[in-house]
Every structure is written in C-alpha cells, then in structure tokens.
Structure 1
Amino acid sequence: MIRITNVKLPLDHNEAQLEQEILTTLAIGKKQLIDFTVFRRGFDARSKNKITLLYTIDVTVDNEAALLEKHSNNQNVRVTPDMTYKYVAKAPENLTERPVVVGFGPCGIFVGLVLAEMGYKPIILDRGKEVRERTKDTFGFWRNRTLNTESNVQFGEGGAGTFSDGKLYTQINDKKHYGRKVLRDFVDAGAPEEILYVSKPHIGTFKLVGMVEKMRAKIIELGGEIRFNSRVDDLHIEDGQITGLTLSDGQQIKSKHIALATGHSARDTFEMLYKKGVYIEAKAFSIGFRIEHNQSAIDEVLFGKNAGNPILGAADYKLVHHCKNGRAVYSFCMCPGGTVVAATSEENRVVTNGMSQYSRNERNANSAIVVGIDPNDYPSDSPLAGIELQRELESAAYVLGGENYDAPGQLVGDYLEGKSSSKLGKVEPSYKPGVKLTDLTKILPDYCREAIQEAIPAFNRKIRGFALKDAMLTGVETRTSSPVSIKRGDDYQSVNTKGLYPAGEGAGYAGGIMSAAIDGIRIAEAMALAINEENQ
C-alpha cells in the first residue's frame, strides 16, 4: 500500500476531486487505482475565508513496486508503514501471581486491557463506582450540591477524562504507533470511525460512558477482574520490593507487580506513598481560571464565512503569551461548544474544569487560562507542597463563591480593571451549581494576576474579541496536571521500590486521555516482560 501525504483540496470539494488528485499525484490512470482510504484529514485555516483541507491517503494500486520506484524522489509518496500493534509477551502457563492495576482511568484501562490481551488476567482496583453510577453522583453534585468524595469528576471508572472534551490527540513521540492501537480499541468499543482520520479527534462524555463499559467487559472476558469501591490505603514493601497492598475495607492482595495509575487528584494516595518511603518529588503545574465566550463569536473570528461548516465543526484555539514578569500564560483543555464543570473531589473546595459532548453544540466555548508555576512557588519544600497550594486556592474559591459550591466569577472587563463584577453581560456562565459574581483578582498570587491581566489583551490581538468585557472568568483551575512526580527508571519501575510501576498523569508521565493510554500500554509491556523474566 502507498501513502500519499500533503494532498490539498478546497473545503467544498467532492470525492471525485479527491480521487482525481490521487491519480494526478501518482500519474496513473483510473484503472490502475484499486482502492483508497483517508488516513488523516486536517485543515489549514490561516486564511479563514479560503480554508484548505489537508489529506494523507493510503492507496492500493496495481504494480505498486514500480510506482514507488517511479516516485522515489517524491517525499509525499512512500510505502504505508506497518502500524499494527505487536504484543511483546505472552503470559507463562505457570503464572502464580496476578499483576494488579490501581486506577481505572485511561491509563489503568490500557494497562489492564493489554495485560488481559496477553493472558495475564490482571486484578484492577478503582476507588470509585462503575461509570453509570459515577455519572449519577457527578450530575447529582452539579444539580444538588451533594458531593460524594469517592465518586465524582475525578474518581471512578473512566477517570477524569470521562468528564472532559474527550480529546484524542497528543504531541508525544509515538514511534511504535501505540496511539493507533488506542484509537482502534476505542472504535471497537463504539467510538465514531472518524477518530481514526480527523486531525483533532474527540469523543465527548456521553459516548465515553458506553465505550468504557465495553472495554471493561472485554477485560473481564479475557480473564481480568475489576473491583470498584476499592480504595488502596496501604502498600506492603519488603526490602525495597512491593509485595502487596491493603484496601480500605482491610482486604489484602498479594502481588509483586503493581501499576499505580491513580490520576492527578489522588492526594491521599500521594500522602500514603510519601509516608511509605516511595520516592516522590514536587512537580510543576499551572493555575488560573476558566474563560467563556460565545462559541459563535469564536467560530466567526477563526473561520469567517466558513463558520458552521460541518467538516470544521466548532472552532478551537491554542494560545500562549510570555509575560514581562517571566511567567507563561496559556490556554489549556479548550472545550469548543462545551460547559465549565465543578470538578472538586474534596469537601468545601471549588475546582473548575471543562467538558464537551461529541456534538460540541453548547452555547459557549471555554478554556482554562493558566499560569505556569513550579516548586519554587510552593509554600514549603515538601514533595507534597503543590497539593498544599492547590488546597489553599480551592478553599479560597469555596469561600469566595459563597461556601455552597458555587464558583466565584468575574467579567473579563472587570478583571482587567481590577474591580468586582455585579451583573452578567452577554456571556452566560455555564458552571453548575452556579456562579457568584465577585473579584477574582484577590484569589491567585499577585504574579499570576499580573500575568493573566497582561495575557488576555495579548490574546485579543490573536483572536479578536477574546478580551470582550462581557466574557466570563470562573475559578479556580488547579487540576491541570499532577503536582507530584513519582520517579521511575528505564524499566518503568519506581526508582526505589521494585515492582511498583508509577503510571499516567498522576505519576507525572502523561497529560490527557491519549498520552495516559499510551503510557498504560508501555507499563503493561514492562510488567509482562518483568513477570516473564521472573518465571523463566
């Protein structure tokens, strides 16, 4: 099969034009073309009123070898690479001890799935509930302000990614094509086929719920075991070797191979690891607010007359500004046509995040606008000092919001002028339970306030209307990534605790659904190879 890259066509082209472009590029007749499929479709919107679609096409033709030789000097015509996933091991018949996976978010799912596919019959533990019960609890908090600290946006089957925009793209180096396996497994579980070829695939919460259930069923069918409401409260470590764990109900499980895929909000787990002597250190993350604009305004600015085209969908953006005070401010987890959601996992704290459905057809666009911080900014030298700072900010947001889980909010114009907001403008906040208008300039450290006040007008020069006075800020955004790093070696095991495999976003090795899932595959491979070596 031949792969053709950099195929350019106008936004309103038809399939016949795409086929003709293939024939022209390869300089062949229609009879020689057997079939073709779209591997990737993106777009170039730098000229918003003349948007170009960019294709990568896999083509089946007669006389492939001769055609490749003919185009040997054309960088856009090459052999289609083999992207089939190759399993690194198979479970030994004399396997006496099952591997354990702690956490069933994107990372834990793929650790468990790949181990199960290789025959290792993993035991998977999650502190929260099955995804549909978890969804009821989460929506119950948003509607009724009743928080379940073990079943919410952060905890439960599917992980934090279940209540997100469901973005499925990443910038990590993926030479082994793990990402392709992730996408194919998602499609097998019910995701739309288009995620295999659109340049910025996403799924959305409602579709993710059903997919997670199907992936759980597959793991169980392959011999895996999944236990919910199973929080890990202790690890058993002997002479630097993990030997098992204890659950919150007192039950003990023996295993010398445990993957730790807890997600970035398992603060009690991080505290337990630190007390047990597992090497952990503070890590940089970012803090700030959610900003909301009318999605139609963002579409018009970025797509011009093409706004509303179904191929383009709702417009997104990615912004960064380097400030005079040395801080970087950037947009994070942009959710086109989505909502701002309540994302706390602890009582008497307020945390914001963003979420979209597959359709991305809600009124507002929202994104985090955050400032990068590092351990030098934390209140102490403890490896857990980032958690301490998160809690301080989230508690302050709870108080500023009225101590009822409403979020504090402010109009962008008022924030830039440093005065409290008293009434809403054209942009209606989407956060539930509700928003209390106030003065957000008081909640973040001064260096963050200064940086955001400088960055928003700078962003306005890139996206006209970004600094709209009526745009809405809601706070606080503190769970951008893990505040700790659980260090691991080249064998993917903890640097000082053999058999413990820190994994995914919570350990500091991923950021988002795709990178977490890919890290899960790597961890599963490392566990399988280590187990087989021990059983030789």
Structure 2
Amino acid sequence: MLRITELKLPLDHPENMLKTAIFERLGISPAELISYTIFRRGYDARKKNAILLVYTVDVESANEWAILNRLKNDPHISLTPDNNYRFVTQAPEHPVQRPVVIGTGPCGLFAGLILAQMGFRPIILERGKQVRERTKDTFGLWRQRVFNPESNVQFGEGGAGTFSDGKLHTQIKDPNHYGRKVLTELVKAGAPAEILYVSKPHIGTFRLVSVVEEVRATIESLGGEIRFQSRVDDIEIDNGQVRGVALANGETIPTNHVLLAVGHSARDTFKMLYDRGVYIEAKPFSVGFRIEHPQSLIDTCRFGQNAGHPLLGAADYKLVHHCSNGRSVYSFCMCPGGTVVAATSEAGHVVTNGMSQYSRNERNANSGIVVGITPDDYPGHPLAGIDFQRRLEANAFKLGGETYEAPGQLVGDFLAQRPSTELGSVHPSYTPGVHLCDLSTALPEYAITAIREAIPAFDKKIKGFAMNDAVLTGVETRTSSPIRIKRDELYQSMNIKGLYPAGEGAGYAGGILSAAVDGIKVAEALALDMSK
C-alpha cells in the first residue's frame, strides 16, 4: 500500500472530497483505486478562521510501484510501513518459574499482557484494589475527605492514568510501532475506534475503567494471575540476582525475573530498593500549580468562529516560557473540559492533578503550570527529590486548612502579590474544595518568580490566559518520577540481574502511551532472557 501524508482539506469538506484529493495527489483514475484507510486525522489551526483537517491516508491501488516511482520526489508519498506487532519469542513448554510484574498501571498491564500473550503466565501484583473498588475509595477522598493510603488516584488497578484525561499521544520515537499495538489492544478492550486515527486520541476516566477491566480479563484468560491488595515490601536478592519478592502479608513468591512497574509515587518501594542496594539516581522533574479557565475562552482563542465544531472538540494548548531567572515554565497535562482532582498518596499531603471524561464537556479547562527543577535544587542522596516533594505537599495541606482542601488563589491576585479572599467568575472544580489564600509560600521563591513572569507571557499567546478570575490551585508535584532506576542495554537494573525497571516510576516514560510502550519493550527483554 501507499501512504500519503499532509493531505489538507477544509474543516467542513464533503465526504467525497478526500477520495478526490487521493486521485489528484497520486495522479490516478477512480478505476485504479482499490481502497483507502485513514491512518491519522489531525488539524491545522494556525489560521483559526480557516482551519484545515490534515490526513495521513493508506491507499491500495493498481500499479503501486509505478506510482511510487513516478512520484519518488514527493516527500509525502511512500510505501506504508508494516506496523503489525510480532512476538519476539514464546514461552518454553515447561517453564521453571513464572515472571512477576509489580504494578498494574499502563506499564504493568501491557507488560503483563505481552507476557501472557507469549505464554509466560505472569503473576501481576498490585498494592491497591480493582479499578471499580478503587474508584469508590478515590471518590471517598473527593467527596467525603476520607483518604485511603493504599487505594487512591496513584495506587490501584489502572495506575495514575485512570484518573486523568486518558491521553494516548506521545512524542517518543517508536520505530517498531509499539504504540500501534497499544492502541489496537485498547480498542479490542472497548476503547473508541477513533483512537486509531485521531491525532490526539484520548479515552477519559469513566471509559478507562471498563477498558482496564477488559485488559485484565484478557490477561487472566491467557493464564496470567493478577493479585490485588498485594503490596511488595521486599525483593530478595542473592549475590546480585533477584530470587523472589516478599509481600506485606508474609508470603514470598520465588522468581528470578521481576518487572518493576510501580509508577512515580511508590515512595516506600523506592526506599526499599535503595536500601537493598539497587542503583538509583536523582533526576529532574517539575513542580507548580493547576490553572483553570473557562473552556469557552480557550476554544475561542484557539478556534475562533469554529469554536464548538464537533470534529475539533474542546481546544487544548501547549505553552512554554524561558524565564529571566534561568527557569523554564510550561503547561503540563492539559485537560480540556475537565476537572482538577485530589491526587495525594500520603496522609496529610495535598497534591493536584487534572482529569477529563471522554466528552470533555465540563465548564473549565485546566493544566499544570510547572517549573523545571534539577537535582541541584535538592542536593543530597538519590531520594532527596522525594523529600522535596513531600515538603511542598505537606505545606500545601497546611495552607489549605488541613482538611484536604487545596490552597488556591486568583491569577490576578497572584500576579499582584496579594491574598485572594473571594472567587470571581471562574469556579474551581477541585474537590474536596479550595481554600483561598496567598500561594507565594507554596513553592520555592524561584518557582513563584518564574510563574509570575510566565503567565503574562502565555497571555500573549492565548488572550485571557492571565485573566484576573482564573484560578490557581496547589500543588502539582507528581509530574514525573524524581528518580531513575538505571538499566542496561538489556533493560535490567545496572547492578541487579533479573530486575527490570520500567515505566514512569523507573524514570523511563511520561504518560499512558509511553509507559505502555516501555512495558512492552521491557517485557520482551525479560521474555527473551527467560527463553534462553
């Protein structure tokens, strides 16, 4: 088949115009077209009142080699790459042991799925609960301020990605098309088929719940075993080789192969690994606030008269500003038509994150406005970044009144350096609630200074971004893992054989899709080692 990229058509083009554009681009007659498939559909909104749809199309035609030769100088026409997934190995007929996967976030689920599809019957351990029970516990914090340290936004089936926008796009390099494997499996599990071709696919929290359950059912049907409320408290290591995992209930599971997919908030697990001598180093991450605007403002700024068009949906944005104090401020995890959520995993702490449903039809847009920091900002041992996060989160808990309300401030007051005392036209979506205050002590001085400089700069790109009534909510600290569990070229720990660090918690991914892709890659490496 032939692939055509950058095929641009008007936003409201008639259905047959795409087929006509294919004829014109390839220089073929209708009789020569056998079939075509939309591989990707995005949009170009640089001219907001003349928005274009941008297609990538795979075409089956007569005389494809002749067409390709004739158009060999056209950079937007090529052979369609083979993106079918192929398993790297199959499990031995009588394996001596079963691999253990720790964590059921996107990384752990897809690592477990791949291992199960290859016949390795993995044992998957999750400290939290099944996703529907976990949802009840999460709502317990949001609605009743009752916190469960083992079942919350961070811990439980589906991982932190379940309570997010369900974004499925990434900027990672993916020459082996692992991302396509992830999307295909998600569609099999009940995700909307459009995630296979829209440029910025998302699923949304409530739909993710049933999708995660279906992935679990597939793993179990292939001989995999998923154990919930099974926290791993120790990893047994003998002479630099993993020998098993010890659970909180006293059980030990013998295994020489452990895939670690614990997510970026498993702080007790990180300490256990560090105490066991696993090589860990500090890495950069970011901290900041959530900011909320009316979604209608963002839609109008981005799409003009086309705001509200069903093919465009709720508008998003991506912003970055390099500040005079040397810091960079950027928007993170933008959630169109979404809500700000309580995302702590420890009692007496306040953490914010963003979430959207599939419809993205809530009244506010929100995103993290965060400042990049490095280990130079929290010198010390490799886990010093965790201590840094905890101090900010505990301080936010105090600023919010020690009731799990989040400290908040109107943007106009934040820029004018005065406390907020009452809300304006923007009503914050965070539950259990927002306690208005002065956020100037919620982050280090250099971060406050940088954000105060960045917001007016962002207003030049999105008019109204610095509106007085927009709301800042603190604090956003879980942008990525504060550590990296280094691994070698075979995806094993640098100094512990049989330990396979993977995903966001290990410092090798950022988001649902990249974490799932990393889970597949690491599972393949583990499987190849077990097949020797």
Q: Give the TM-score band, short-chain normalised.
A: over 0.9
User: Separation in 1 of the partners of 2:75 and 2:384?
Assistant: 50
Distance in 2 between residues matched to 1:333 and 1:241, nearest whole Å: 38
Distance 1:472 1:208 in 2: 28
Give the unaligned 5+ runs of structure 2. none
- Residue number in structure 2 paired with 1:326: 326
- Larger deviation: 360-369 or 59-68? 59-68
Equivalences for residues 202-217 of structure 1 within 5 A: 202-217=202-217
In the alignment, does 2:467 pair up with 1:474? no
- For residues 486-536 of structure 1, what are the alpha-carbon distances to aligned partners after superposition, in whole Å with 9 as ceiling and x for unaligned? 110001000010000001000000000000000000011000111112xxx
The residue identity in structure 1 corresponding to 2:489 is D
- Three-state SS of the structure 2 residue aligned to 1:361 is coil
> What is the DSSP-based 3-state SS (H/G/I as helix, E as strand, rest coil) of the residue aligned with 1:101?
strand
Alignment deviations for residues 29-63 of structure 1 (CA, whole Å, 9 cap, x no partner):
11111211100111110110000111011111122
Quote the residue 1:161 is aligned against.
161
Aligned to 1:506: 505
Deviations 1:377-414 (Å, cap 9, x if unpaired)? 11x41111111011100000001001000000000000
Which residue of the partner structure matches residue 426 of structure 2? Answer: 427
Mapped partners of 1:75, 1:290: distance in 2: 41
Residue of structure 2 in register with 1:458 after alignment:
457
* 1:32 equivalent in structure 2: 32
Matching of residues 26-65 of structure 1 within 5 Å = 26-65=26-65
CA distance in 1, matches of 2:114, 2:88: 10
Q: Secondary structure at the match of 2:450?
A: helix
TM (normalized to structure 2)? 0.99
Residue aligning to 1:517: 516
Distance apart, 1:320 and its partner CA: 0.4
Q: Deviations over 1:113-138 (max 9, x none)?
A: 00000000000000000000000110
Aligned to 1:280: 280
Q: For structure 1, which runs of at least 5 residues remain unmatched after alignment? A: none
Q: Distance in 2 between matches of 1:182 and 1:15?
A: 29
SS of aligned partner of 1:289: strand
In 2: Cα distance, 1:337 partner to 1:409 partner: 20
Q: One-letter code of the match for 1:284?
A: P
Identical columns (%): 67
Deviations 1:462-481 (A, max 9, x none): 11000001000000000000
Letter in 2 for 1:155: F
Q: Secondary structure of the equivalent of 2:338?
A: strand
Total equivalences in the alignment: 532
Q: Structure 1 stretch 232-241 or stretch 77-86: which is displaced more?
A: 77-86
Instruction: Output one character per residue of 1:205-253: Cα deviation in whole Å (capped at 9) or x when no partner.
Output: 0110000000000000001000000000011000000000100000000
Separation in 2, partners of 1:76, 1:483: 40
Given residue 519 of structure 2, which amino acid in structure 1 is its aligned partner?
G
Match of 1:183 in 2: 183
Aligned partners of 2:193 and 2:18: how far apart in 1? 19
Q: Following superposition of structure 1 onto structure 2, how do residues 263-278 of structure 1 map, counting pairs within 5 Å? A: 263-278=263-278
- 1:16 aligned to 2:12? no
1:342 equivalent to 2:342? Answer yes
**Residue in structure 2 matched with residue 360 of structure 1 by the alignment:** 360
Q: Does 1:104 align with 2:92?
A: no
Partner of 1:187: helix, strand, or coil? Answer: helix
1:293 aligns with 2:293: yes
Matched, 1:135 2:155: no
Name the SS for the 2:78 alignment partner.
strand
Task: Find the aligned partners of 2:518 and 2:75 in 1 and give their Cα distance.
Answer: 31
Q: Bigger CA drift: 72-81 or 368-377? A: 72-81
Give the Cα separation in 1 of the matches to 2:323 and 2:412: 19
CA distance in 1, matches of 2:480, 2:285: 6
Alpha-carbon offset, residue 70 of structure 1: 2.3
Residues 114-168 of structure 1: CA distance to partner in whole angstroms, max 9, x if unpaired? 0000000000000000000000110111000000100000000000000000000
**How many angstroms apart in 1 are the aligned matches of 2:204 and 2:26?**
38
SS of the residue corresponding to residue 337 of structure 1 reads coil
1:185-221 Cα distance to aligned partner (Å, 9 max, x none):
0100011111011111011001100000000000000
**What residue number does 1:369 align with?**
369
CA-to-aligned-CA distance 1:293-318 (integer Å, 9 cap, x gap)? 00001100110000000111100000
Residue in 2 that maps onto 1:146: 146
- Residue type matched to 2:447 in 1? C
In structure 1, distance between residues paired with 2:152 and 2:455: 31
Instruction: Work out the CA distance in 1 between the residues paired with 2:377 and 2:35.
Output: 57
Q: Tell me which residue corresponds to 1:392.
A: 391
> In the alignment, which residue of structure 2 is the partner of 1:407?
406
Rounded Cα–Cα distance in structure 1 between residues aligned with 2:353 and 2:490: 34
Q: State the match for 2:491 in structure 1.
A: 492
Structure-1 separation of matches of 2:287 and 2:4: 42
Q: Report how far residue 76 of structure 1 moved.
A: 1.7
Matches of 1:485 and 1:80, distance apart in 2? 36
Aligned amino acid, residue 36 of structure 1: Y
CA distance in structure 2 between the partners assigned to 1:518 and 1:232 by the alignment? 24
SS of residue paired to 1:347: coil
Partner residue, 1:199 = 199
The letter of the residue matching 1:157 is E
2:411 and 2:76 mapped to 1: Cα distance? 46
Which residue identity is paired with 1:2? L
Within 1, Cα distance between the matches of 2:103 and 2:190?
A: 22
Deviation of 1:78 (Å):
1.4
Q: Which amino acid aligns with 1:375?
A: P
Which shows bigger deviation, 304-313 or 30-39?
30-39
